[in-house]
Chains A and B, each alone.
Chain A
Amino acid sequence: MADAVVLCTCCGAMEEIFDMAAIEERLKGGGSAPVPMCVVPRLCSREGARLAADRMRQLPPGGLVIGACAFSARGDAVMGMLAEEGVRDIPVHWADLREGCAFVHPGDAKGATMKAADILAMGLADLGRADGGAPVLRTPPHRRVLILGGGPAGLAAARAALQRGVDVTLVEKRPAIGGMLPMLRKLFPDMGSSSDMLARLDLPAGVDLRTATAVSELRPALGGFTVTLKGVKGDGKPEELSVGAVILAMGGQPVLPKGRLRYGELAGIASQMELETRLAKAERNPDDAASLPRKAVFVQCVAAREDDRPYCSAVCCPAALKNGMRLLECVPDAEVTVLHRNVCMPGRELESFYRLARERGVRMRPMDPEVPLEILEEDGKVSGVRMQDASSGETVTLPCDGLACSTPVAPAPDAAKLAAMLGVRLDDMGFVCGEEPARPLETPVRGVFCCGSVRWPCTVAQAVEEGAAAGLLAATHVAEPSATPSWRPLNVAHATATILDRDCSGCGRCLAACPHGACVPDRGSGPRRTVAVLADRCEGCGGCAAVCPTGAARIAFRPVAGVVEGLRRVLEVA
């Protein structure tokens, strides 16, 4: 093997600092054959790349050390142009001589020159070890997206992914799709009907829909995940599918106000969701309006924003204001008072909805969370609420014949189980975590996405938005890459973990430590239960190596051997 060095002068900037002849001399390392060196004025230009390629063609085949700017500056462009000029798929070591050397030693030309030569020598040593490591093979993902949950988020995700031309399987554990939609008759913000929304979200032909189906097993595998499906009642033959991506869209569930504000004790006290159902009935049949309250009090933040559940559920203020307006429409002489800690209607759309509700006669009263509400009763039925108005400090009694408690949304009951199968992290409240803030729908496990209320409580409109966005992301993940994967230098290539079978005790600590779901129990044939690393899932973070008690898990950052060899060579020369 005859390895060569290409040195970019960056339009002369490097020559101002480095002594090119001294570098060449030092690379010879005490009299051995000179290393073929090609100095080009601007490697990231077409002319520069051509010059380097022409020189490479005159040399016997071998690897290449490129001494230039930091790879993040122009590396991709250079690699692309060299490939177009016919130099490709040979081992390349990228030596950062500009940001990493010339720019940081402006006043020390001699020292910088020596350092540059050493960096190049270490690169050559690395090339010498290039065949020592196995290449990381990335298995193309299966072209199928699995969506768990058939509510608004899941339906929108299915539509978006299918539109991108990938196969879609949607699994819903209930007998029908729609999630929470059938329970909500009118939707925020335009009071549009939920059946219209459901019709709009109805699955297009081509989606493989499985209702009344549960996931019994879901595990990472090469090319994505293997899922085992069976009927919710445990009936039917289990079926195994291979998918390239998973979208978690299981939604949430409303918390019941049990043990709060005498819910379940007195008549006339309901959860906001229960009131919603009664409103829907009255809207369909005006005779049912007689059973609706005349003087209604809605209490916000029940069982929310407190130590046990320290979050704002985002949907309760819009829901309460919506139901307040619906109640006023069904019973025009009714009175609706909303007791709130903060009216959480951020943005433009929600703020104008809030204004509309006030115009329509929904009354707002701030309460002090430190002062508990007192529920007044008459004959086993709620008759009023005594509260302290937080703005005036006065204690007031609000007579009422109906009280609705706005409770938060909690994650779907099966969220924890499914997330654990995938190795996806949940937050303290049990919601699925994306990579906030810039990749909110992408979990750290590659190929697993989340949307809707399983991620965080959201309105139907937001769930549809998140679903569509997650559908696109998942489709992009499993679709064939639009550009061919680029040819990368050895030392900027992807590092992955390996677990040496010989040393692995099968303790499984790495399974818990891996945030990317790359460590999986090895189902191999050996006598002991060990752990394997899925190379196309591993991000090379080293979490497994940090917790491994036997040293079996380690990061196979390929050039480690090369780095050692490089150091040896440089220190010897010095």
Chain B
Amino acid sequence: MTGKAAGLPVLVAGGGVAGMQAALHLADAGVPVVLAEREGFLGGQVFRLDKVYPTDHCAFCPVWPKARACRSHPLIRLRLKARLETVEEDGEGTVAVLRVAPDAVDADRCVFCGRCMAACPRGAVVGRPDDIPHDPSTAPRAIVLDDLCDGCGACAAACPASAIEKSALGRREPSFERIPVRTVVHATGFREPVPHPAPEFGAGTHPDILTAMAFEKLTAEFAKGDGPLRCPSDGRPAKSVAFVQCAGARDMRHIPHCSAVCCMHASKHARWLKRRDPSLDVAIYHTDLRTPGKGQEAYMRAARAEGVRFFHARPGLVAPLDQQRAKGVLLRHEAAEKVASTVVDLVVLNGGLACNPSTVDGATPGNGTDSGRPGISRACGFCREPADIARSVIQAGAVVAALLQELADCVPGDAMEASRG
């Protein structure tokens, strides 16, 4: 690495909990950071969670300070609605190319007064995306939903802070930003693949067959209001809920790895349901029940004590019943080498979380500490190895520690001086 490269930023791709932590560690060590997040807000999937295990506290509170620190750190430059397109070597060094989605709102000018939202005739300006449960401070600015906006400019006219650029409204073409960087840290997280990787579980065939993140939204405390848990299909109160673990995961045809977080995720949902209505029949169909983390086994035992039923059985089929004749979802599974069938009101498919792909230098993150060429790119969080919040935070620290060492080795004393200066 040349002396010129020494002052360049490190690009962190992904503004979830791992990416934010990596950015903070780097910036605290005096290394400038560009933090690129594809969504319009920091926080990643954690902000789609209502509560988190093992504390059952709200997800927002422990993670929000990290988002706030990233926003206010003098060495972190935030690029929202920007995803890493590619990383190039141009002879002089490394260049990260960001694909920046059109963003009409200038985050620095927006005062979040909400007049644009009132002014928009199409409901295209929102305070937060629909699937984010937490409140405005998650995204303390207006977000223009590109697919609803027709570019009429009513919001721009209503904005008292000149934070909305009319000419950028309704613009579908992304722009590309080339940033010379020292290196890239990947923290692109996970997603629930669409369509679901295992068709035998019936995802998408019936509203009462839900994925874990959809169920999170359905049961989230902020959204549930009063009364019983209702089936999305017809609104009748659900009397039985079944969680199908490893749906599509640990399966050589679909996703071979274990997603690591789903046993606890299902236990969490099951316990909420039992708290909400102790008479609800809640069953978890699992293969291996994996609760090795701090406090996890105790959490799972508590779920059992509260009446959640655990079955060591791998379902092979989930299908809606003929809705004309009977309501419900059929679950066929094998237990003690016998095939059994159960009918339940709601089925939650857990597992099969896919690492978000990184297009960078053809590397798939997830092979050890380095993804792709050592020293060029690194990965932390779920995109490297299925991880919950705590593991992601730890991995980010480990990756940054190794990276700082490497940067210091390249330019002796450089990172050290940067950390002092």
Surface stretch bound by B, among A85-93, A337-345, A551-559, A563-571: A337-345
Asked if A465 meets B395 with Cβ closer than 8 Å, knowing A346-B258, A392-B337, A438-B66, the reply is: yes
Interface contact A472-B25, CB-CB below 8 Å: yes
Q: How far is the CA of A414 from the CA of B237 in the complex (A)?
A: 53
From 84 to 133 in chain B, residues with beta carbon under 8 angstroms from any chain A beta carbon are 109, 111-113, 115
The yes or no answer to B389 lying at the interface (CB within 8 A) is yes
B113 & A10 in contact (Cβ 8 Å cutoff):
yes
A11 to B408 Cα, complex, angstroms? 47
How far is it, in angstroms, between the C-alpha of A312 and the C-alpha of B301 when the chains are bound? 11
Residues from chain A with a CB closer than 8 A to the CB of B408 are 163
Interface centre among B366, B390, B400 (most CB of A within 10 A): B390
Residue A12 at the chain B interface, CB threshold 8 Å = yes
Q: Which of A352, A457, A482 has the most CB of B within 10 A?
A: A482
Task: Write the nearest CB–CB distance from A356 to chain B, whole angstroms.
Answer: 12
- A428 and B402 alpha carbons, distance in the complex (Å): 34
* Segment at the interface with B among A23-31, A72-80, A320-328, A503-511: A72-80
List residues of B (2-19) whose CB comes within 8 Å of A's CBs: 17
CB distance from A501 to the nearest CB of B (A): 35
Which one of A310, A314, A351 lies within 8 Å of B292 (CB-CB)? A314
The answer to whether B256 has its CB under 8 Å from any CB of chain A is yes
Contact A482 to B74, CB < 8 A, known contacts A163-B408, A437-B55: yes
The answer to whether A245 has its CB under 8 Å from any CB of chain B is no
**Residue A347 interfacial (CB < 8 Å):** yes
Question: Given A163-B401, A435-B62, A13 and B297 touching (CB < 8 A)?
Answer: no
- A216 at the A/B interface (Cβ < 8 Å)? no
Q: How far is the CA of A366 from the CA of B27 in the complex (A)?
A: 48
Q: Could you say which residues of chain A place their CB within 8 Å of the CB of B233?
A: none
Shortest A479–chain B CB gap in Å is: 7
Interface residue A470 (Cβ < 8 Å from any Cβ of B): yes
Residues of chain B with a CB closer than 8 A to A482's CB: 27-28, 30, 74-75
Residues of B contacting A441 in the complex (Cβ-Cβ under 8 angstroms): 393-394, 397
Complex contacts, A34 vs chain B, CB 8 Å: none
A470 to B393, alpha carbons, bound, how many Å? 11
B420 touches A165 (CB 8 A): yes
Nearest chain B residue, comparing its CB with the CB of A464: B398
B296 interface residue per 8 A CB criterion: yes
Digitize A427-448: 1 where CB-to-B-CB distance is under 8 Å, 0 elsewhere: 1100100011111110000000
Give the residues from 453 to 495 in chain A that come closer than 8 angstroms, CB to CB, to chain B: 455-457, 462, 464-466, 468-473, 475-476, 479-480, 482-483
Contacts of A480 in B (CB 8 A): 420
**How far, in Å, is A37 (CB) from chain B's closest CB?**
21
Q: Beta-carbon contacts of B280-309 to A below 8 Å, as 1s and 0s?
A: 000000001111111111100100000000
Contact status B161-A11, CB under 8 Å = yes
Q: B401 to A472, Cβ gap below 8 A?
A: yes
Which residues of chain A have C-beta atoms less than 8 A from B397's C-beta? Answer: 160, 441, 465-466, 468-470, 472-473
Asked if B401 and A428 make an inter-chain contact with CB atoms under 8 angstroms apart, the answer reads: no
Q: Do A163 and B404 touch (CB < 8 A)?
A: yes
* A347 engages B258 (CB within 8 Å): yes
CB distance from B212 to the nearest CB of A (A): 16
Q: Which residue of A lies closest to B252 (CB)?
A: A355
B28 & A476 in contact (Cβ 8 Å cutoff)? yes
- A69 contacts the other chain (CB 8 A): yes
Task: Type the 1/0 row for B155-193, where 1 means its CB is closer than 8 Å to any CB of A.
Answer: 000001100000000000000000000000000000000
- Is the CB of A264 closer than 8 A to any CB of chain B? no
Asked whether, in the complex, the Cβ of B401 is within 8 Å of the Cβ of A310, the reply is no
A438 B62 Cβ-Cβ under 8 A: yes
A13-B111, A465-B394, A465-B398 in contact; A344/B290 too (CB < 8 A)? yes
- Give the docked Cα–Cα distance between A159 and B64 (Å): 30
Query: Which chain A residues in 80-112 approach chain B with CB under 8 Å?
Result: none
For chain A, the count of residues having a C-beta within 8 Å of the partner chain is 70
Main secondary structure of the interface of A (DSSP, over half): loop
By the criterion CB–CB under 8 Å, are B111 and A159 in contact? no
Q: A42 in the interface, Cβ–Cβ < 8 Å? A: yes
B-side contacts of A455, CB under 8 Å? 294
Say whether, besides A73-B140, A74-B111, A310-B301, A159 and B400 are in contact (CB < 8 Å).
no
Choose among A391, A393, A436, A472 the residue that contacts B390 (Cβ–Cβ < 8 A).
A436
Q: Which of B203-211, B224-232, B317-325, B380-388 contacts A (4 or more CB under 8 A)?
A: B380-388
Judge if B279 is at the interface, Cβ distance under 8 Å.
no
Q: Is the CB of A159 within 8 A of B405?
A: yes
Q: Is the CB of A312 within 8 A of B390?
A: no
Please state if B17 and A438 are interface contacts (CB–CB under 8 Å): yes
- A305 beta carbon closer than 8 Å to chain B: yes
**Complex: A456 Cα to B112 Cα, angstroms:** 43
Is B238 part of the binding interface, using a Cβ–Cβ cutoff of 8 Å? no
For the complex, is B72 an interface residue (Cβ under 8 Å from A)?
yes
A465 CA / B395 CA spacing, docked (Å): 6
A461 to B53, CA, bound (A): 24
Q: Nearest Cβ distance between residue A339 and chain B, in whole angstroms?
A: 14
Which A residues are in CB contact (< 8 Å) with B359? none
CB neighbours of B55 from chain A (8 A): 436-437
Interface check B336, CB cutoff 8 A: yes
Nearest chain B CB to A79 CB, angstrom units: 11
Q: How far is the CA of A520 from the CA of B17 in the complex (A)?
A: 35
Choice from B258, B291, B385, B394 contacting A312 with Cβ under 8 Å? B291
When the two chains form their complex, are residues A392 and B390 in contact, meaning their CB atoms are under 8 A apart? no
Is B81's beta carbon under 8 Å from chain A? no
For the complex, is B257 an interface residue (Cβ under 8 Å from A)?
yes
Kindly supply a per-residue 1/0 record for chain A positions 208-244, scoring 1 wherever the CB is within 8 Å of any chain B CB and 0 otherwise: 0000000000000000000000000000000000000
Residues of A contacting B28 in the complex (Cβ-Cβ under 8 angstroms) = 472, 476, 479, 482
B227 CB to closest chain A CB, in angstroms?
A: 27
Residues of chain A within 8 A of B400, CB atoms compared = 472
A408 CB to nearest chain B CB (Å): 10
A392 cross-chain contacts in B, Cβ below 8 A: 336-337
Residues of B within 8 A of A391 (CB): 312, 336-337
Interface string of A157-177 (1 = CB under 8 A from B): 001100111000000000000
Tell me which residues across on chain A come within 8 A of B337, comparing CB atoms: 391-392
A69 touches B111 (CB 8 A): yes
Inter-chain contact B54/A347, CB cutoff 8 Å: no
Q: Is the CB of B54 within 8 A of A437?
A: yes
Is the C-beta of A349 less than 8 angstroms from some C-beta in chain B? yes
- Whether a CB of chain A sits under 8 angstroms from the CB of B149 is no
B232–chain A nearest beta-carbon distance, Å:
29
- Per the bound structure, the CA–CA distance linking A342 and B312 in Å amounts to 9
Which residues of chain A have C-beta atoms less than 8 A from B385's C-beta?
347-349
Digitize A388-419: 1 where CB-to-B-CB distance is under 8 Å, 0 elsewhere: 00111100000000000000000000000000
A427 to B52, CA, bound (A): 19
Establish whether residues B386 and A346, one from each chain, have CB atoms under 8 Å apart when the complex forms: yes
Q: Are A438's CB and B161's CB within 8 A?
A: no
A439 to B69, alpha carbons, bound, how many Å?
14
Of all chain B residues, the one with the shortest Cβ separation from A393 is B336
Chain A 297-320: CB-based contact to B (< 8 A → 1; otherwise 0): 000000001000011111000000
CB pair A342–B289 under 8 Å, yes or no, is: yes
Question: Do residues A11 and B257 form an inter-chain contact, with CB atoms below 8 A?
Answer: no
Given contacts A366-B312, A482-B27, contact A345 B290 (CB under 8 A): yes
Is A280 an interface residue when CB atoms closer than 8 A count as contact? no
B396 at the interface (CB under 8 A from A): yes
Q: Can you pick out 15 interface pairs between chain A and chain B where the beta carbons lie within 8 Å of each other? A: A12-B160, A13-B111, A42-B111, A69-B111, A163-B404, A163-B415, A310-B298, A312-B292, A346-B290, A355-B256, A428-B298, A438-B62, A439-B393, A476-B28, A476-B29
Q: Which residues of A contact B (CB under 8 A)?
A: 10-13, 42, 44-45, 69, 72-74, 76, 156, 159-160, 163-165, 305, 310-314, 342-352, 355, 366, 390-393, 427-428, 431, 435-441, 455-457, 462, 464-466, 468-473, 475-476, 479-480, 482-483
Q: Give the 4 A-B CB pairs with smallest separation, nearest first.
A: A469-B397, A11-B160, A438-B62, A314-B292
Supplied contacts A347-B258, A366-B312, 14 more A-B pairs, CB within 8 Å: A10-B111, A69-B111, A159-B401, A160-B404, A305-B297, A314-B293, A342-B289, A347-B257, A347-B260, A431-B294, A439-B393, A472-B400, A480-B420, A482-B74
